[in-house]
Structure 1
Amino acid sequence: MGRCGDLLAALGYVSDQQRGTLRHGRKPSTQWRWQGEVDDPLLIARHDDRPVHSAALRSTVAASVAIDCVLRPWCARVHRHRPAASFAGQPFELQSPDNRRYSCVLRSRMVRSLCSREPRRHLMRKTIILHIGASKAGSSSIQSFIRRNRPLLNSLGYVVPDISLGTGENVSGEHVFALEALAKARDAAGFRARMDAVFAQSGDAARAVLLSAENLSNLGNSAIIEGLSAQYDLRIVMYLRRQDELLTSAWQQWASKIETDFYAWLIMALKQFGHWNKVLAEWEQRAGADAIVARVFDRNSFVDGDLLHDFIDALGLAEHIDAFDYKQGESNPSVTDAITMMVSGNRKIFSDVHDNRFYGALNELTGNNLVDGKKVSLLSRKQRDKVIEYYRPVNEAVCRKYFKGRPRLFPVVDHEKYRYLSSDQLVDEKFRAIMTIIAALVQERAG
């Protein structure tokens, strides 16, 4: 039984039967200690003496529910006996049946609206939710999920713009290229104007705009939200992937299409990518600490062991988790790196880093028979351990700041997941891949 449930039940606004539904994710929220203030009109809680924005707690109890069911009736009752000004800014205390105490403060500018018996929804600030990746951390699956569930998200007040950041029907779930153009121009004013237009065209029911672009996790791209927090509440959702897997996946999907030498590229990439402490610090500086929702890209860390369930929880919609459509195929299936080694940097095959036609044709031709089950590793076991050690200070710093109580940011590497091949074994793997392609061509011709 969650403390929020105790609090509301103690005031007589939630029945015992309803009380059990007030949860954080799918676990009772007994770790939350409420102590905060009302602000436009959002609750701010504290957890382990750190402020936690109410947007991060909607799965425990919606801010609007707390306002309407607790503070508004309480203020109305008090207002019968005292003028509003007399309790503005003064702390009040609520006590649950098990004698837990909860303290809140009302700001004077919110008192009159809270004393009204009628909800004043128009006072709630709109929210912009940015899923910023990171790259190679499930972004394609999340974006496909957003596209399929756009009608449900809209019904819940979460507007998903089209690929041009408008309100049209060309919705893919991602906004990579539109936001990349704004980020390159450092056009914060242009981005704000687009968001203003989306809210204006979406009506009063729209309470949030949901955007997804994994390239926003590249350093410097947070410039597009400069000054935005003065007008909107922000929520920055970011999934962090262990860097050895990030780098090898990024090589295959992007860099190998224009670069020829994996190890030369890796030297540069180690300096440029995976420094999650710098990325989070940059976004926190512009959006505020309460806006950051950092998650670890690991099945054992996901809500219900599922990335998409975890994403819904990160959005603050866990109470609707069973209403969404989760059916989808595999996103970005990766062919064996034996193929990648043979075609890397071949400009006759790839026009740019986003050209996936060759790999798509191979998968269609071979029926995904070139997709690795146990992935061929571009790194040796020793090299993988060295990469993990290189990023250890970064990961320890992120864990201390954003994942208090977690022993380590990422699980210990399981080397059994990877196929570490000798030079001779790698040659054999390349021949196997070539013969798989030839066999598929023969079968297609014969058929």
Structure 2
Amino acid sequence: MTCYLHIGMPKTGTTSTQSFLYVNYELLKKQNFLYPISAKHDHKHDHAHHYFAGCLNWYFKTNDKNSLDKNLKQLQEEIQSSKVQNTIIFSEILPEVCNTLQKVAYLREILCQIGFQKIIVVAYLRNTADMYVSMFSQRLKGFLADNKIKQEMLFSILTPPKDNPKPEIYYNYQQILQHFSEVFGKENMIVRLFDKNEFVQGDLIKDFLSAVGIAWNPEFIIPKNQNETLDLLGIEIARHLYERELPTLENDTTSSKIYEYVSKSLTSKDLALKFMPPKEMYESYLNFYTESNEWVRAEFFPHKQSLFPPKDLNSYKENYQLREMKEEYWERVAQFIADILKDLIEAQNALSARKSASFIQADSAIARVQEELPYKLGEALAQNTKSFWGFVLMPFVLSYIKDRHNAKERIYAQEVANSNAPALPPLSSYPDYEEALKLQRSFVYNLGKALIHYDSKGEAKLSYLSFVGRVLGSIRRNKGMGKQLTHLKNERSE
């Protein structure tokens, strides 16, 4: 079996390539290639094998091998059951996790334990100055999704490379490729340049497929570009948020959702908003790794005069401050806020419905009956016939009550089915059972039952006015109705 180990680098179209491999899972298997599901996180927007890399990192930090062994077992079982000969493992954080020769050697050891006889390392390299610009945006987006990376962000985006050891992990291609070449063998290294002019047919996906030997299939699904770079508007919002103490998010799914908001509303292709750092900072990242890049050129691209095309900095234009706030920019800010509020409101409504659906009061049959649909509808009918506007709004009120009640019932039934909530005991088991029976025989309860009966026959929609007329007549005949409703309302509020 062969493993194609894609190690990035970061900001070389990795998210889009990973999404392509994930959505074309079955078509790739037909070509004897597996992109394993067990090596990735559960949340739907992350298709990288960061879970595998994270388990490895946890072992390096704690010497606790339990999570790693568990993932390796799942990965091995998935590979064996797929019966394919080629597996792609893809995580651009592997160079950071395996940042020493010893750690790279251990990575090879566990891949061999899985059963791979041959391991081929794939790496894409990007111009270091352009990498810096893109990483700046990435760190800011990461901060918006997770406030825990504040200090790391400061070191990695505000400090020139000569004063900052952090970029060694991402930009020192010589160090990274030397470690992986020494462990896996130079003959097993596929090193490509992240440059549209270098890609097969000018396309990153086709270039990667060609590199690993996967034939192009017209049926392949091509996901849209993902993880786009923040523009100046997004950077400005991130800067202001950075200055405030935001709560830390512990839930990966929540962080992923906020990341989605940012990518949707705060990125653009508008050249006027394209972030370009101060020329001095850009040039420092361009020149600092000249020696490292020359080593890579000599080892893997000896036919080239330089690893990356030279940059003409005479025409370089700085653009790192938002100098004008146009009307369309405010629209994007509003959309960013609206997306968050929409999901917050929906989440709150779902939580309220779940709490209400799970309502159980073990010592009160009356409370149970008051939660039944006939009682709710009957009470609403009686209350809304007291005024002209109540009469006008009654159809909408009744429809809302019915829909909300049915939604709660479905949620509760699902919770019971999943053993997340106990089934309700029979009414007869409650000490106030006799009082509850009286409530079920009350005028209000039977009024609701009558409406449900009309609705089931289609009469409530066709003869609504007639039905309400009967309700009004019934209320007049029930002289004690007002007192009964007041008494029941007081009972519910106690």
* Residue-by-residue CA offset, 1:188-233 (whole Å, 9 max, x unaligned): 9947655543443223xx1111111111122245232137569510
Aligned to 1:253: 138
Gap change, CA 1:155 and 1:374, over 3 Å in 2: farther
Counterpart pick for 2:222 among 316, 320, 327:
327
Amino acid at match of 2:283: D
Aligned to 2:77: 197
2:22 aligned with 1:147, yes or no?
Answer: yes
Aligned to 1:295: 192
> Does structure 1 retain, via aligned residues, the 8 Å contact 2:48–2:91?
yes
Counterpart pick for 1:243 among 118, 124, 128:
128
* Matches for 1:167-178 after TM superposition, within 5 Å: 173-178=47-52
Report the Cα distance in structure 1 between the residues aligned to 2:315 and 2:23, rounded to whole angstroms. 31
> Does structure 1 retain, via aligned residues, the 8 Å contact 2:126–2:194?
yes
- Displacement of 1:436: 4.1
Bigger share in helix: 2
Counterpart pick for 1:411 among 290, 305, 309:
309
Report the Cα distance in structure 1 between the residues aligned to 2:13 and 2:270, rounded to whole angstroms. 17
SS in 1 for 2:171: coil
> Does structure 2 retain, via aligned residues, the 8 Å contact 1:375–1:417?
no
TM-score scaled to structure 1, two decimals? 0.59
Amino acid at match of 2:125: L
Amino acid at match of 2:135: A
* Residue-by-residue CA offset, 1:218-273 (whole Å, 9 max, x unaligned): 22452321375695101111111111222232232236612474424864234443
- Displacement of 1:288: 1.2
Aligned to 2:91: 213
> Does structure 2 retain, via aligned residues, the 8 Å contact 1:133–1:214?
yes
Amino acid at match of 1:405: H
2:246 aligned with 1:361, yes or no?
Answer: no
Report the Cα distance in structure 1 between the residues aligned to 2:50 and 2:338, rounded to whole angstroms. 38
Aligned to 2:109: 226
SS in 1 for 2:5: strand
* Matches for 1:25-104 after TM superposition, within 5 Å: none
Gap change, CA 1:389 and 1:435, over 3 Å in 2: same
Counterpart pick for 1:391 among 261, 268, 289:
289
Query: After the TM superposition, which of the residue ranges 377-386 and 189-198 deviates more from structure 2?
Result: 189-198
Structure 1: unaligned runs, 5 residues or longer: 1-125
Report the Cα distance in structure 2 between the residues aligned to 1:238 and 1:303, rounded to whole angstroms. 16
* Matches for 1:115-194 after TM superposition, within 5 Å: 126-164=1-39, 173-186=47-60, 190=69
Report the Cα distance in structure 1 between the residues aligned to 2:86 and 2:45, rounded to whole angstroms. 16
* Residue-by-residue CA offset, 1:257-305 (whole Å, 9 max, x unaligned): 1247442486423444310111111111221111110111110111111
* Residue-by-residue CA offset, 1:343-387 (whole Å, 9 max, x unaligned): 3365517738973544532554x5x67554455335222331222
Amino acid at match of 2:126: R
Report the Cα distance in structure 2 between the residues aligned to 1:248 and 1:272, rounded to whole angstroms. 16
TM-score scaled to structure 2, two decimals? 0.54
Report the Cα distance in structure 1 between the residues aligned to 2:89 and 2:122, rounded to whole angstroms. 10
Gap change, CA 1:438 and 1:388, over 3 Å in 2: closer
Bigger share in strand: 1
Gap change, CA 1:401 and 1:321, over 3 Å in 2: same
Gap change, CA 1:437 and 1:303, over 3 Å in 2: closer
- Displacement of 1:314: 1.3
- Displacement of 1:341: 3.1
Query: After the TM superposition, which of the residue ranges 294-303 and 383-392 deviates more from structure 2?
Result: 383-392
Gap change, CA 1:138 and 1:421, over 3 Å in 2: closer
> Does structure 2 retain, via aligned residues, the 8 Å contact 1:303–1:310?
yes
Gap change, CA 1:153 and 1:169, over 3 Å in 2: farther
SS in 1 for 2:249: coil
- Displacement of 1:414: 5.7
SS in 2 for 1:385: helix
Amino acid at match of 1:202: S
Counterpart pick for 1:263 among 151, 158, 164:
158
- Displacement of 1:306: 0.5
Report the Cα distance in structure 2 between the residues aligned to 1:353 and 1:249, rounded to whole angstroms. 26
Give the alignment's Cα RMSD to 1 decimal.
3.9
Report the Cα distance in structure 1 between the residues aligned to 2:229 and 2:333, rounded to whole angstroms. 19
Report the Cα distance in structure 2 between the residues aligned to 1:170 and 1:439, rounded to whole angstroms. 26
> Does structure 1 retain, via aligned residues, the 8 Å contact 2:8–2:91?
yes
Aligned to 1:310: 207
Once the two structures are aligned, what percentage of the paired residues are identical? Answer: 19
Report the Cα distance in structure 2 between the residues aligned to 1:352 and 1:391, rounded to whole angstroms. 36
Report the Cα distance in structure 2 between the residues aligned to 1:382 and 1:134, rounded to whole angstroms. 24
Report the Cα distance in structure 2 between the residues aligned to 1:349 and 1:420, rounded to whole angstroms. 34
> Does structure 1 retain, via aligned residues, the 8 Å contact 2:5–2:90?
yes
Aligned to 1:400: 298
Report the Cα distance in structure 2 between the residues aligned to 1:353 and 1:247, rounded to whole angstroms. 28
SS in 1 for 2:225: coil
Amino acid at match of 1:159: L
SS in 1 for 2:120: strand
Structure 2: unaligned runs, 5 residues or longer: 144-149, 342-494
- Displacement of 1:136: 0.9
Report the Cα distance in structure 1 between the residues aligned to 2:281 and 2:242, rounded to whole angstroms. 21
- Displacement of 1:310: 0.4
Matched length: 310
Gap change, CA 1:399 and 1:235, over 3 Å in 2: same
Counterpart pick for 1:435 among 318, 330, 355:
330
Report the Cα distance in structure 1 between the residues aligned to 2:337 and 2:246, rounded to whole angstroms. 24
Aligned to 2:179: 282
Report the Cα distance in structure 1 between the residues aligned to 2:315 and 2:222, rounded to whole angstroms. 26
SS in 2 for 1:245: helix
Report the Cα distance in structure 2 between the residues aligned to 1:323 and 1:176, rounded to whole angstroms. 29
- Displacement of 1:342: 3.0
**Larger Cα Rg: Structure 1 or Structure 2?**
2
Amino acid at match of 1:314: A
